[in-house]
Amino acid sequence: MGHVRDRMEADLILAGLSASTRASYIDCARRFVKYWWRSPDQLGERQVRDFLLHLAKERKVAVGTYLVYLGALKFLYGVTLRRPEVVAGIPWPRMRRRRPDVLTRNEVMRVIDAASSRFWFAFFTAAYGAGLRRMEVAALRAQDIDSKAGLIRVTQGKGGKTREVMLDPILLGTLRSHWRIHHLPGPWLFPARARHGWADHPVNLGQASAAFRKAVIAAGIGRHVTLHGLRHAFATHLLEDGVDLYTLQQLLGHDRLETTTRYTLVRTDRIRGTPSPLSKLRSST
């Protein structure tokens, strides 16, 4: 889909979408074309529907993955090919948000301490200590750490947005030790390995997730928790400590406060601290 790909790439840039979103959309469109082995110019609503049904019923992709494919195809036909009628009748699915399985503070400490290397120890500490997504940790550069102001400048946030988060003194010490121990050449704090030293690009995100899974197993955590769980724990633990929702929204980089409020559903400190009427029932007899 050579010429279509180039046009779609240009349209995505003009739409102001981030590099990661552009790459995802282009890849989804490429897979759609490969599925039919025909140019998207020659395909219509029936082929789009059949492909999406294949993803949902046969491949059973996650809802989030399905939404990326749907967004890519709606953009391809609605914007690049200027055939919005092809995708106009295809609905967005209702998303059922899963309740995040939040690690306790003790579990977070156990997982971080169970990291397979000092490199991943620092990576996981940054993810929890600043509430960063894995891609945001991987993209950290030395210049993003402002020790005098006590801030981390997140310049590669979701959607290309930037924000500032707190720089905990313990995290600062961990990052400084990490820099010295690994003799990092800069600018990346978490670069990929090269044959002779370090590469000039961030570590692979899949490797980060795999290292976290190993740490979870080594820590004896029996349930399924992903690397993103450290961000969930960061948010929930701050709420339990009394941080207000607006501040938490800024720290997490959420566009809408509604996205942040879901963390109020998983905090358990108030639940634990609420006495059951059973004790009063027994004491009244």
Q: Distance between CA atoms of 191 and 241, rounded to whole angstroms? A: 33
CB atoms within 10 A of CB 182: 17
Q: How many CB atoms lie within 10 A of CB 55?
A: 19
How far is C-alpha 23 from the geometric centre of its chain's CA atoms?
A: 16
The set of residues, in sequence order, having a beta carbon less than 8 Å from that of 245 and lying 6+ positions away, is 239, 257, 260, 261, 264
Residues 6+ apart with CB under 8 A from 247: none
- Angle, CA 20 vertex, CA 16 and CA 24 arms, to 5°: 100
Q: What angle do CA 17, 198, 18 make, to 5 degrees?
A: 0
Active-site positions read 133, 158, 228, 231, 254, 263
Which amino acid makes up residue 268?
T
Alpha carbons 64 and 256: distance in angstroms, whole number? 18
Q: Are 192 and 198 in contact (CB under 8 A)?
A: yes
Partnered with residue 36 across adjacent β-strands are none
**Cβ contact 202:139 at 8 Å:** yes
